[in-house]
Chain A
């Protein structure tokens, strides 16, 4: 048995895959949040950032392909593990009390799957910019600022000015935060990076970082619905 078969066929190995891919996605979620929060610095900052990403194909395409592979592996492991877990208890209990198992830990597959469908929508909405899904009746592709760069600021303000779209984002972010409140704790455990001496620190980190992600991401649509960046709507 070599490393590859041990990783892909054993229970513990599949959890490593889950944890390493989960960790990478978690890192992306944090980096993406920091990038997005630049909207609060005004159009210049976020448009410059958008232009920087768009004009460096040798950075953005490897990153995109990497993320695609990572999420595919994460979902593959999630579905495989969940199917095995279901098969491991063919007869259900008439009465079952999960005791200390948190709501987040019992709903990982569901929260993950909904987040996945959200990601598909999000890509069509802001990355591919399919006009039909933004529900504003306007086109995002044609938004440009005075310097001829894609006007990311106006696109975000316009996109989130539709309450139903903002609501979907807020629900998805809530589920992502729920997923990560358990996921971050779980990934340290799965990789064996946990000892009694710092178990409490990990616990607090997982909770804290999930709250940070929730507040950070949700602040954008909420601020826009409350009128932030209104001036961009006249474009």
Chain B
């Protein structure tokens, strides 16, 4: 199949950047989207041009590194799929495809489609530690955890931190990501002792990074490759409310 690509090219963080049009010829429908870009890059390199910079690592949908907005939808619009798992058979011969980086103040573009997502790392860091006793491996089921709680915590923990929620949100809000991280620890007994501090600090770090506010549009949930539910944002809001009402986070541990 033959395609026309309109790709965001930007030399460095200070470059203004712009859309450049390329032809992608002889694409095999079984290729992944990233493999298609690899082919385009081979061609660019052979012609002595700068290849298109984009992020990828595992290429099997679990690391969350690949990140691009395809025709206006983060990860390209196939439900529950990262770009590396999106295949060219979902496109038609002759299509024109627009490819842009995640757009958010908190995710500045480094080059072309590569953005700096370290704001997420700062949010995770701000969450602090989880109190777990050291020593020998505890026996299985020492801590009774209801199956429903364990399942819900696992659903939240499925977040791979790719940032598609931010990219898709009209407000560039990171609430889905933060809610997944806050929820999965708040649901388990191991995460309970620091739960109040954690939610306050993570929300603070999120705000300081310059992400927007949630207005419950649901775009994040729709593009999330791990299908994290919007209900976790309600849970984050509930956890935050409990923490400020109890108002004792500061008194717990000084750090």
Size category of the B interface is 35 or more
User: Which residues 73-98 of A have a CB within 8 angstroms of B?
Assistant: 81, 84-85, 87-98
Residues of A with C-beta under 8 A to B173: 11, 85, 88
Residues of B with C-beta under 8 A to A108: 215
A87 and B210 contacting across the interface, CB-CB below 8 Å: yes
Residue of B nearest to A194 (CB): B234
Residues of A with C-beta under 8 A to B217: 98, 100-102, 105-106
Q: For B6, B98, B212, B245, which residue has the most chain A Cβ atoms within 10 angstroms? A: B212
A-B interface contact total, Cβ < 8 Å? 151
Residues of B with C-beta under 8 A to A81: 213, 215
Residues of B with C-beta under 8 A to A90: 105
A36 within 8 Å of B by Cβ? no
A11 and B216 contacting across the interface, CB-CB below 8 Å: no
Size category of the A interface is 35 or more
Residue of A nearest to B216 (CB): A186
Alpha-carbon distance between A190 and B204 when the two chains are bound, in angstroms: 17
A88 and B106 contacting across the interface, CB-CB below 8 Å: yes
Alpha-carbon distance between A131 and B72 when the two chains are bound, in angstroms: 51
A12 and B77 contacting across the interface, CB-CB below 8 Å: no
Give B35 Cβ to nearest chain A Cβ, in Å.
23
A101 and B170 contacting across the interface, CB-CB below 8 Å: yes
- Classify the secondary structure of B's interface with A: mixed
**What 0/1 pattern do residues 155 to 171 of B give for CB contact below 8 A with A?**
00000000000001011
* Contact flag A93-B103 (CB < 8 Å), given A2-B247, A99-B168, A101-B217: yes
* Contact flag A100-B216 (CB < 8 Å), given A88-B172, A195-B231: no
Per CB-CB distance, the 9 closest pairs between chain A and chain B, nearest first, are A192-B238, A97-B72, A88-B212, A101-B217, A85-B171, A192-B237, A88-B172, A194-B234, A85-B212
On B, residues with C-beta under 8 Å from A are 6, 8, 19, 69, 71-73, 77, 98, 100, 103-106, 109, 168, 170-173, 175, 200, 203-204, 206-207, 210-219, 221-223, 229-231, 233-241, 244-245, 247, 250
- In the assembled complex, 19 residue pairs joining A and B whose CB atoms fall closer than 8 Å, in A order, are A11-B175, A11-B214, A12-B203, A16-B241, A94-B8, A94-B19, A95-B69, A95-B72, A95-B100, A99-B73, A99-B222, A100-B218, A100-B221, A102-B217, A105-B215, A182-B216, A189-B233, A192-B236, A194-B234
